Amino acid sequence: MLIIEGVVGVGKSSLMNILVDEGYVPFREPVLDNPILDKFYTDRKRYAFPLQVYFLTKRFEHLQTAAMVENAVMDRSIYGDGIFAAMHHDTGTMDSDEYRIYAELYAAMLAQVKAPTLVVYLRCTVDTAMERIRKRGRPFEQSVERDYWEKLHAKYETLFEHYSGSKLLVINVDHLDFEADEDDRAYVLLRIKEALLETA
């Protein structure tokens, strides 16, 4: 079971699609059929808590199912989910009672899931992430202020500085374009294969 983590825009979904071509079974981020996401962007304070509980529930389900599948891969997971809840709490879109309930639920779920074989943390600067977000052109992402992306980046860095739940591979992708460049793609795949061999 392989998990790809990193800030918004870093290339998680692109790398997962490449790994699917290599024979991995995808567990995609639950955004397409999410009944709360659109509501959240119109009223963040009202919908931040149910949105995070929805994501947490789906990612818990993904991990449970993925544990029974050979060569499963997912872009983002329960491990990074707590970052977004903490961001909501920091910005006031999730109040302290909601955050406490979320944190208790998060801890209970985390205790019940099988650890992944490998977590791949795609690292990049805030400038790189923002440029890729701009190129991607999702309307709801374009209006997000730089300060938010900087705080999100800092929380990711802190999480994976102290992460010990499984084998961790950190790849700096500031100067890599593994979606379009064959050499970059081969380099990233080689790093992943080498890390997986170390877990065997």
Which residues have a catalytic role annotated? 75
pTM for this entry: 0.90
Maximum average pLDDT range among 11-15, 41-45, 98-102, 131-135: 98-102
pLDDT band of 31, cuts 50, 70, 90: low
pLDDT digit string, tens, across residues 110-139: 999 888 999 999 999 999 998 888 877 676
Residue 155 falls in which region: left (phi positive, over 0), alpha (psi -120 to 50) or beta:
alpha
For residue 43, the enclosing domain spans 2-199
User: Which CATH number covers residue 77?
Assistant: 3.40.50.300
| Single-letter residue type at 171 | I
Task: Please give the tally of structural domains in the chain.
Answer: 1
Do residues 167 and 198 lie in contact, with contact meaning Cβ atoms separated by under 8 Å?
A: yes
Report the pLDDT value the prediction gives residue 140, as an integer from 0 to 100.
65
The C-alpha atoms of residue 157 and residue 162 are separated, in whole angstroms, by: 9
pLDDT digit string, tens, across residues 185-200: 999 999 999 999 998 7
Report the pLDDT value the prediction gives residue 197, as an integer from 0 to 100.
94
